[in-house]
Every structure is written in C-alpha cells, then in structure tokens.
Structure 1
C-alpha cells in the first residue's frame, strides 16, 4: 500500500468569462426523475503526453482558464437547480459558477 500526502486549495468559485443570459430553463419530465437528484463529486487526473516536455505553465491554471471559457457556452452548468411546483425542476441561470479545487500529492500516478 502506498502512503502519500495530498494537499488541496480552498474552494474557489469559477464563473463564466463573459456575461451569460439571465434566464430560467424548465427541464424535461425525464430530468425530473427523483433518481437524478444526486450530487456526484468529480476528480480528474491529467498526465503529459509521451515525449512531451512539460511547459512551465501551472496545469491547474490551464484547466481553470479553459473552464472559465467553457462556462460561457455551457452556462447552465454554472447555475442553480431548483424544485418548483410538484417536483418540477428548473435551472436558474445565475452565473454563480462551479466549485474548483486544486490539489497536489507527493506521489506519481503510473
């Protein structure tokens, strides 16, 4: 068993790079299924391509900049889900953002 130390930054809310439409989107009846109301935390691992010389750029910053730009086009992701009458779900497009946490560990992923 490998022992390692992981360090994480504070949670930072990442918002779209430019203004988004301020609107409410009603979800379909399929999206209202109670089994879909689950929060799933996501952890991503990235590695350099074989033979690629690592640039001096901070990988977490590169991902964050890309996320900020992607949220302009996928702005409902940076919004909030609300339940209205009789279990109907809506996305209130508020540009509140998504949580971003940078982490580092003293172990190599092989």
Structure 2
C-alpha cells in the first residue's frame, strides 16, 4: 500500500493497493470522502487559533474555504487580515482578502 501517488512499473499514476488513477480515476463517493476528510482537517487546524473560534459561522466558512485552498501556512501569512479578525475590523479583513493573489484565483 502506498498513500502517495506513484508511477507503477508500466508508468501509470497509481495509489493505494495498485489503483490505476490514469485509467480509473476515483469514484464520486471517494472524492466526497476525501473532501470531507480535508475539510475536517482544515477546521481542526483553524480551531487551534483562538481568533477563529470567536467568529460567526459565515466568517468561519469563508476562512475554511480560504484555508482549504491555500493551506494553513499560507493563510497565516495574511498577518494584517488576522490582526483585523482579532479586532473585529471586518472591513479591513475583506480588503486584505480581496487585495490578494488568492482572490485573483477565485471565480466571481
């Protein structure tokens, strides 16, 4: 079993117990399970920060989405945004989010 993708002996991208990703991809059920696991992990990472736990549900959802896409280390580089979250300056939070390369990758 290999938990990271690898090239099998005939050059096909493979994972797990020889699952051929090139030929078979993954099922919708597995994709949904992976997403659920990734979102749960992202939530746990964010909940370790006191400032996250004080936010409304809508703000938490937005940050979970941002963190899911960027990863926690890159999210934590938004230092001004985090200070603004801690002080409740949500206008500045929005400005920092919209003024970033991350926002340029989002569909409007």
Measured against the shorter chain, the TM-score band is: under 0.3
Higher relative contact order (CA 8 A, sep 6+): 1
Give the TM-score normalised by structure 2.
0.26
Give the structure with the higher percent helix.
2
Give the TM-score normalised by structure 1.
0.26
Give the structure with the higher percent strand.
1
